[in-house]
Structure 1
Amino acid sequence: MSVSPEDPTVAAFVSAINAGDRDALFALLTPDATMSDDGSERDLAGWVDKEIFSVGGHMDVETASDGGRSLKASFTNATYGTMRTRWAFTVTDGRISRFETGQA
């Protein structure tokens, strides 16, 4: 059973991933949004396309904390299968300005 994050912007981010809706996801991001994966800074657009949208990424949120801005989730894609991941979001004025992810 998937948990819905309390933060509506983060919940919409998860929904956009699970719907395969790249446009909806990018609408949730600030124009200068940044991200990291396992502590390494990544090109956000390239990473999202490679790790999520071109490989059928899907997120099942297991736990949410910090007002719904910190998640533990099972993340599945065609490249790596299913892995337990952590996600932390910085939300600024209702949009995501940064997220950090990695294996949990």
Structure 2
Amino acid sequence: MAQRCSAFDPTAALHYVTLTIDAQACEDFLGSEIVPWCRSIYGRDARSGPLFVSRPAAPAILSLSCQILTCPLQGPGRRLYLVSKALELAGLAVDHLTAQAARQPR
């Protein structure tokens, strides 16, 4: 699996967050209801290719992203911390997208 890396200055303000979730993992973790939901909101689902969604990040997402960037731990504890924060970030992002989509007129 290829890893994408970005370098961030820890003293700079965070302006965006990029989150990539594999289509199969998305369906495995979120259930089969995510497929028709994506289709109804975006006109297609992620199985037909990448689905790029750009939205302003919620304050909770920016805060969590800063926690990830400034992880104070080392060794095995660091990996566990980062994995748990990544899952939390994915949950917040999905919640943010579904809440915004529910407010949009169809």
Question: Structure 2 length normalisation: TM-score?
Answer: 0.31
The structure number with the bigger radius of gyration is 2
Question: Structure 1 length normalisation: TM-score?
Answer: 0.31
- Relative contact order (C-alpha < 8 Å, sep 6+): which is higher? 1
Higher share of residues assigned strand: 1
